[in-house]
């Protein structure tokens, strides 16, 4: 199993460590040429979505990656990655892939509660640890988006066809459940 990890900015190394621990190999996507390799899935890591969106365009990776997502490549997006997928970003006209019919609110928990940790139920997996770092949440989701978890009434995990988006950082916690589930999804795709 070979998984591509967007590696232009942000917390990509932690995802790679998880994937390797689970027996998958990783391809780092840093430039347009890297997209020519074959891979079974894609991880969009946390970081700063504005910077990632800008670099994706400047490095000539944006259109190809968007096409790959639209063609059904399994995607696991965390935090900033979730913002990259969203159709709409509240109060921000600069959107990115727009492959997921949701509206996100960036830095949704404000500065005071910028980062927090909780343990919460996620559909199909049970209780898992969730670490939020200046996280977004989903303020609106279309009917074909499956809500996997809502914390304090706010949607923080969703699935829509081949795309899974999380507002938190499973790569930073001890649980491997989400990465395991993603690898199973890539295997079946």
Instruction: Provide the binding-site residues for ligand GLN, judged by CB under 6 A.
Output: 46-49, 79-80, 83, 106-107, 133-135
State the Cα–Cα distance between residues 124 and 146, nearest whole angstrom: 12
Contacts with 171 (C-beta within 8 Å, 6 or more apart), sequence order: 11, 14, 15, 17, 18, 45, 46, 78, 179
Pick between residue 47 and residue 74 the one whose CB is nearest to ligand GLN: 47
List, by residue number, the catalytic residues: 79, 169, 171
Whichever of 51 and 184 has its CB closer to ligand GLN, that residue is 51
Nearest distance in Å: CB 42, ligand GLN: 16
Closest approach, Cβ 21 to ligand GLN, in A, equals 21
CB of 52 to ligand GLN, least distance (A): 7
CB of 56 to ligand GLN, least distance (A): 13
Q: Read off φ and ψ for residue 113, nearest 5 degrees.
A: -105, 40
In the complex with ligand GLN, which residue's Cβ is closer, 79 or 160?
79
Phi, psi for 4 (deg, rounded to 5): -85, 135
Tell me the C-alpha to C-alpha distance, in Å, between residue 93 and each of 87, 103, 125, 137, 163.
10, 12, 35, 17, 22
- Rounded alpha-carbon distances, angstroms, from residue 51 to 74, 86, 104, 154: 23, 16, 17, 25
């Amino acid at each position: 199993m070979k998984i591509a990890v967007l590696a232009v900015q942000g917390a990509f190394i932690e995802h790679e460590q998880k994937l390797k621990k689970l027996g998958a190999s990783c391809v780092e996507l840093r430039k347009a040429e890297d997209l020519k390799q074959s891979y079974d899935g894609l991880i969009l890591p946390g970081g700063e979505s504005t910077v990632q969106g800008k670099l994706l365009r400047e490095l000539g990776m944006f259109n190809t990656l968007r096409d790959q997502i639209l063609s059904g490549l399994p995607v696991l997006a965390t935090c900033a990655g979730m913002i990259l997928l969203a159709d709409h970003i509240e109060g921000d006209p600069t959107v990115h892939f727009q492959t997921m019919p949701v509206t996100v609110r960036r830095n949704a928990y404000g500065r005071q509660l910028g980062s927090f940790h909780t343990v919460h139920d996620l559909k199909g997996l049970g209780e898992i640890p969730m670490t939020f770092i200046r996280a977004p949440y989903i303020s609106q989701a279309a009917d074909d988006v499956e809500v996997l978890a809502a914390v304090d009434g706010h949607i923080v995990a969703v699935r829509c066809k081949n795309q899974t988006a999380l507002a938190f950082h499973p790569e930073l916690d001890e649980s491997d459940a989400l990465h395991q589930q993603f690898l199973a999804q890539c295997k079946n795709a």
